[in-house]
Amino acid sequence: MKKSIIPLLIVGTAFISGCDQKGAATSSAPKVAKADAIAEVNGQYIAKSTLAELEKEIAERSHGQTFPKEKLIEELIQRELLVQDAMQKQLDKSAEIIAQLDSAKKTLLTQADVQNFIKANPVTDAEIKAEYDSKVAGENGTEYKARHILVKTEDEAKKIIAELDKGADFAKLANKNSLDAKESQNGGDLGWFVAGQMVAPFSEAVVKLQKGKYTEAPVKTQFGYHIILREDSRAQTPPSLDSVKEQLIPYLQRKKIQTMVETLRKQAKVEILVPLTEEPAKAPAANADKTPTGDTVTEEVAVEEIKDASGKTVAAEEVVVETVKDASGKTVAQEVVIEEAVKEKTAEPAKAETKK
């Protein structure tokens, strides 16, 4: 029965890009013994470790889903056949492939250097404890419980404050008027939070309020105007060391790596050979020539930027404006000419801009 491996080839495309590049460099790859191989293809052995890597890759990409070993082995055989075919055609000697292999090699070496550094400089329990004490346990934070009423205008907010001054119920006014509470009917309840979770004007107002008091003036934020009621506050209980240890380890690893890279940078001799900022294009000096009729023609060059949907400049085209004047200096005509070479270069981005 003919085996179909096409779906697997599609799933493993990203993996192929890395695996095949390593396989292409057969001259420097370690020799594989027959006892350590899963298959032999035209005299070349496929290592058991390669199958293990593919199984791991597929499991990660398919969230634990597994494939029959028969299909995975057939997949690796097809890859080896493609590698051998490419080598026979000497594709590994093309400038494009050599550049890609060099880029892949640099990426792998970068990752290897970082992993080697982490192994040689592991995060210690003492470092974790010190980080916990200074950044987690050492924080004497306060949590607040509050309600708020959010409206669009300052006048609306002032009217609601006037009703509160007369003894109106805060929760009922929130359900009736607040943009946040009209649908949920939760009385504007925000639950418990720390000041840093809210935008600055809001958190500052909450911190200043006394328990059971509401703001006597509207608090303006980018969302509108708030009336805030501080219901309660309590000391924030920090999480235990064990509960945050796994989060602290990668953070400390990144700090160590950053320090290592900064040290390498300071010790290295580096010369930057390109401008760090783009200089604006300079318009050439206007050229004035007399025509046979005595008219004066001046040329001005402008640069038109083409931007994508996010506003980022993706291309620029030069536009030549020709201004034709008569003998008295009066402008009699203007003509816009787009340089053909530039027009062709930016044709596709220009179309994309039109569709935006």
- pLDDT tens for each residue of 249-267: 999 999 999 999 999 999 9
Q: What is the pLDDT of residue 309?
A: 43
DSSP-derived secondary structure letter, 290: E
**Contact between 252 and 127 (Cβ < 8 Å):** yes
- Other Cβ atoms closer than 10 A to 156: 17
5: tokens are: 């491996």
Whether pLDDT at 118 is above 70 = yes
End-to-end CA distance of the chain: 51
The percentage of residues in the chain with a pLDDT greater than 70, rounded to a whole number, is: 69
Local confidence band at 303 (pLDDT 50, 70, 90 cut-offs):
very low
Whether pLDDT at 33 is above 50 = yes
**Contact between 54 and 74 (Cβ < 8 Å):** no
Q: How far apart are CA 164 and CA 273, in angstroms?
A: 67
**Strand partners of residue 226:** 150, 219
Q: Which amino acid is at 92?
A: D
Angle, vertex CA 146, rays to CA 142 and CA 147, nearest 5 = 165
- The stretch 41-61 carries a mean pLDDT of 92
Question: Is the pTM of the predicted complex or chain greater than 0.85?
Answer: no
Q: How far apart are CA 44 and CA 23, in angstroms?
A: 11
**Contact between 51 and 73 (Cβ < 8 Å):** yes
Whether pLDDT at 304 is above 60 = no
Q: Beta strand 142-151 with 189-194: parallel, antiparallel or unpaired?
A: antiparallel
Q: What is the pLDDT of residue 150?
A: 96
Whether pLDDT at 228 is above 90 = yes
Local confidence band at 340 (pLDDT 50, 70, 90 cut-offs):
very low
Instruction: Give, to the nearest 10 degrees, the angle between helix 170-177 and helix 154-165.
Output: 150
Q: What's the mean per-residue pLDDT of the chain?
A: 78
CA dihedral 24, 29, 34, 40 (to 10 degrees): 0
More confident residue, 164 or 279: 164
Q: What is the pLDDT of residue 332?
A: 45
Of 76-90, 125-139, 146-160, 245-259, which range is least confident? Answer: 125-139
- The stretch 158-167 carries a mean pLDDT of 97
- The stretch 296-312 carries a mean pLDDT of 44
